[in-house]
Structure 1
Amino acid sequence: MYQSQEHSNEELQAFIEAPGRHIVFLSADWCGDCRVIKPFVQAIREEVEKTADWMDADRDKNLDWASQYGLKGIPAFILFQDGQKVDQIGHGERITPKQITEWYENTLK
């Protein structure tokens, strides 16, 4: 069964404010689309971690943080650069591993 990681709002904020590129993957244990995509997330993560840091987070435990960055739904991937939100994908829409990979590659251009 898919289980997301527990991090405090403060831990998430410190993570994205560190210098460099960071991806936050927000999901929840009850989310069907999150469970569907989970088998692919590890492979995506391994590819992304070549150029960015990665953190999994539980949206339900970080509602204030997610709201601060305009998150409307899950699963969602948010890209930050040096503390600034660059882009996001998902936020409640069904997404494929290919869409996630293409989004990340296109965002880096």
Structure 2
Amino acid sequence: MYQSQAHSNDELTAFINRPGRHLVFLSADWCGDCKAIKPFVQGIREEVEKTADWMDADRDDNLDWASQFGLKGIPAFVLFENGQKVAQIGHGERLNPKQIQDWYQETLG
């Protein structure tokens, strides 16, 4: 199963502010819907990393950072480009891999 890596608020901010496209996977260990999607996250990550950088974030450990972007529900996949939030999928509902992959492809347009 996919294991998220912890990052600080400062690391997340530096990550999204780099030039280019960046996706943040926001989750928490206690979240049932996050646990349900984790078996599929590595495959999603491999697809995303063809066109964007990836970073994990624990919602509880990064609450200030998440609040800054209005990120409340998890699991969430959030796309940033050149420091700006471009799109998000996931507001606390259960997601399936196809929904995430379709959202990402549509977002790239």
TM-score, with structure 1 as normaliser: 0.96
1:3 Cα deviation (Å)?
4.4
What is the distance in 1 between the residues matched to 2:88 and 2:61? 19
Structure 1 outlier segments of 4+, above 4 Å: none
In structure 2, how many angstroms separate the alpha carbons of the residues matched to 1:81 and 1:8?
19
1:12 equivalent in alignment to 2:7: no
Matches within 5 A, 1:62-101: 62-101=62-101
* Structure 1 alignment gaps of length 5 or more: none
Contact 1:2-1:29 within 8 A present in 2 as well: no
RMSD, matched Cα: 1.1
Deviations along 1:13-49, one digit per CA (max 9) or x if unpaired, are 0000000000000001111111110010000000110
Question: Residues of 2 paired with 1:100 and 1:62: CA distance?
Answer: 22
Deviation string for 1:72-106 (max 9, x for gaps)? 21000000011100010002011110000000000
For 1:29, the equivalent position in structure 2 comes to: 29
Matched residue type, 2:73: G
* Aligned AA (1:74): I
How far apart, CA to CA, are the structure 1 residues paired with 2:4 and 2:60? Answer: 10
Partners in 1 of 2:76 and 2:34 — Cα distance?
A: 9
SS at match of 2:62: helix
Gaps of 5+ in 2: none
**2:77 alignment partner, SS class:** strand
User: Contact 1:3/1:28 (CA < 8 Å) preserved in 2?
Assistant: no
Pairs aligned (count): 109
